[in-house]
Homo-oligomer: A and B are copies of this chain.
Amino acid sequence: MTVQAWLNGEPIVDPEHALALTNRGLHYGDGVFETMHLFDGQIRFLDAHVERATEGCARLGMALSTARLLQELTCLPLQTQPSIVKLVLVRSGAGRGYRPAPNSEAMRLVLLYPWTEASPTVRAQWCAARWSRNSQLAGLKHLNRLEQVLAQQELRDGVDEGLMLDTEGEVVSATSGNVFLVRQGKLCTPDLRLCGVNGVMRRQVLGAAKATGLSVEECALWPADFEHAEEAFITNALRGIRPIVQLDEQRWPIGPMAQQLRRTLTL
């Protein structure tokens, strides 16, 4: 795969041999990441991504200069063809043992991948792999992602995405995105109080829905709520809003609320 990379703002000549074996990302997943859409030479929703990354570092007790990060991201020689920009913030310092040095800073790694197309609608399945609950980590886009790796290994042929429950059976999200449903005309999405990633596109959708006077609720959802839903869709920063047209045996047409929100957000 062709990938271009920068570390703390400096271009990396050989991405295949770049990282220290002792880095805390590898050993503990000690960091956070953002996956961003580069379109027309601009990173879409850049401020929201940087805001979430900043919040994530603060919650992990990792120092980050937001101003320097923003400067590095805006100074990248970004091409005009659509791309995927992955930002990985890993706590610097090696050492053995879980305990980081006090005030250790985030190492800023930027990876630029070529854009890949994805279907604008989603055929989904329920996954057996679960999100574990931990309010201290809930909402964070951190690097501990084994649960999503296990869930994606389950996906059957012909299926694009998996929906995941937490260990108590509440619906949390798709493996790579947040999930919304429409119930009696009302937009609902899991509240993420105990697990899940607080997605940048999720925030955009909630904001746009409220701004256009839609009725919105962040709440506990269960698989049975999907049986009675009028429509359902998945959101993430790369793919925007993608209607679920199939969930195991259930089928939906592309719903009007997903279409309206896509127009509002010009996705």
CB within 8 Å of B: which residues of A? Answer: 1, 3, 5, 12, 14-30, 33, 60-61, 84, 86, 88, 90-91, 94-100, 109, 111, 113, 116, 129-137, 142-153, 155, 167, 175-176, 195
Contacts and interface: CB of A to CB of B under 8 A. Distances in A.
Contact of A145 (B28, B61, B111): B28
Contacts of A5: 21
A61 B128 CA distance: 14
Contacts of A98: 145, 148-149, 151-152, 175-176
Given A21-B18, A27-B145, A146-B28, A96 B84 contact: yes
B88 A26 contact: yes
Contacts of A151: 98
Given A96-B113, A136-B150, 13 more contacts: A1-B95, A18-B20, A19-B19, A21-B109, A26-B26, A27-B145, A28-B144, A30-B145, A60-B150, A99-B155, A130-B136, A133-B133, A144-B145
Tell me the dominant secondary structure on chain A's binding face: loop
Contacts of A150: 60-61, 136
A16 B20 contact: yes
In the assembly, how many copies of this chain are there?
2
Nearest to A16: B20
A150 B18 CA distance: 27
Contact of A149 (B18, B30, B132, B148): B30
A86 B12 CA distance: 27
A136 B137 CA distance: 18
24 contacts: A15-B20, A16-B21, A17-B17, A17-B20, A18-B19, A19-B23, A22-B111, A25-B27, A27-B88, A28-B29, A28-B146, A29-B144, A30-B146, A30-B149, A97-B152, A98-B151, A98-B175, A99-B153, A130-B136, A133-B167, A134-B147, A135-B167, A137-B146, A144-B145
